[in-house]
Structure 1
Amino acid sequence: MSDSKTFINGLTRDLQRWEDRGFIGIENAPEIQATAATLRGRKALTKLTWVKGHSGIEGNEIADHLASEGRQKAHPDEINLEIPPNLKLTGLKLKSITQSLAEKALKIKKKRVPSYRKKLERRATRCNIGRTQACIEETTGSSPSEALIWRSIRHKDISRRVQFFLWMTMHDAYKVGMYWEQIPGYEHRTNCQHCRVPETMEHILLE
């Protein structure tokens, strides 16, 4: 029983197609793959039923409550998504390969390389994550995990434009302030033209 049509369809109608393409570009792929493997390992028939969310159905309400509690944890629980070798399907089928899929697969593989992941970590990003956690803890009494912050930025209720802005700001990726200090001829852009202090996104938005 679930109120997620996407998850149910992913385990039924779309499963074969997603497996053929190696789950490339599929959101929550590890969870869906692990669930599919568990269902395949069962000997009994399993029936999946969609229910309307927040409609008073006991099991679904309990699941929502537990999910809400999980989102508030400072450190997310470790969930075992390991799939037994005899139930694990890897890779994508040749008949399903397209140029777009191949490019996505290469990008995903590249991001898994430790040296590449290390390059993605910026000192400014770590600082902004820490400040975000501190502000939320001061307001709510609990500090969210880094993973929760990134998931919140990508929440479905936030427009793509705002998601992009938040992502860029969190990485301190906009060309403001100290960015211009090292570029000959543009040093004058370092400071706010009104306050004469180093420009920052926080200063632009709040001062």
Structure 2
Amino acid sequence: ADQNLELRIETDSKYVITLLTSKKNQIEDNGYIGTANKALLRSTIASLRRRKYQTYFKWVKGHDGHERNEGADEMARKALTKDKASPIHLSVAPTLLATGAKLSTMTQALAYKAVQEWKPISAKRQRTNRNILAIKDITEQRFNYIPTEEKIWKSIRQKDIERKTRYFPWMAIHDAYMTGTHWLRPSFKPELQERACCKHCDAIEDLEHILIRCSTTGQQIIWGLVETLW
């Protein structure tokens, strides 16, 4: 966006708005230690600081028929079907680059996290990260509370829940079920790739679509029965 114009951003993620507004200074003071997607967040905050005019954030309810929000979701789904990811430039100008944590904010716990981050760790799957972020967003919308990633994983390991039942959310968060764009692998034959789309809605048939968004007959009846049981 033009740096010399006022910018208004609409998003269905209260979590992202919080990171880029009320939590922004704290994150920078902590040197981005313990922050998820820190490269993306650092670049975004730097871009906001570079702007000469004000930037406004507005929360809109997701999956509620909001034209621009639905359009953004559709663009995200189309991006998942691309054979090659589009490059994202995350470079930050030296004058806007906040490096290290302030000594005044450094605690023993924060220092320990910093040491842990120096250790080589395997990169998390992008689909898993996206689903974790979605869980945080929905939880905040409904309960005004943002769970940590650790609490999310711990919640699905409750021993009071049958093991087979615990297995489903674990697989769902990792997007490990053979649904949606998983069928669009280049090595698959066309007849297999056709399984990526819902035959009723002609949309990508990922798990979210199957459980919530599909308008096929019987969907409302099933969720109505679930609500009465719950």
TM-score, scaled to structure 2: 0.50
Is 1:57 aligned to 2:32, yes or no?
no
Post-superposition shift, 1:41? 0.9
* Deviation by residue 1:76-116 (Cα, 9 ceiling, x = unmatched): 322101111111111101111112211211221232xxxxx
**Residue matched to 2:22:** 13
Structural mapping, 1:49-128, within 5 Å: 49-111=58-120
Secondary structure (helix, strand or coil) at the match of 1:48 reads: strand
Q: Deviations over 1:28-75 (max 9, x none)?
A: 222222111111111111111111111222221111111222233444
Aligned partner of 2:33 among 4, 21, 24: 24
Which of 98, 104, 126 is 1:151 aligned to? 126
Q: What is the aligned residue count?
A: 132
Residues 7 and 32, structure 1, Cα contact 8 Å, conserved in 2:
no
How far apart in 2 are the matches of 1:159 and 1:72? 28
CA shift for structure 1 position 159: 4.5
Structure 2 Cα separation of the partners of residues 62 and 70 of structure 1 = 12
Matches within 5 A, 1:42-53: 42-53=51-62
Q: How far, CA to CA, are the matches of 1:153 and 1:46 in structure 2?
A: 30
TM-score, normalised via structure 1 length: 0.55
The Cα shift of 1:153 comes to 4.6
Q: Which amino acid aligns with 2:53?
A: A
Alignment of 1:195-206 (within 5 A): none
Q: Give me the CA root mean square deviation.
A: 2.8
AA of the residue aligned to 2:36: E
Q: Whole-Å Cα distance in 2 between the matches of residues 95 and 84 of structure 1?
A: 25
Larger-Rg structure:
1
Shift of 1:4: 0.7
Higher mean C-alpha deviation, range 50-59 or range 85-94: 50-59
Q: Percent identity?
A: 38
Supply the distance in 1 between the matched residues of 2:32 and 2:153 (Cα, whole angstroms): 25
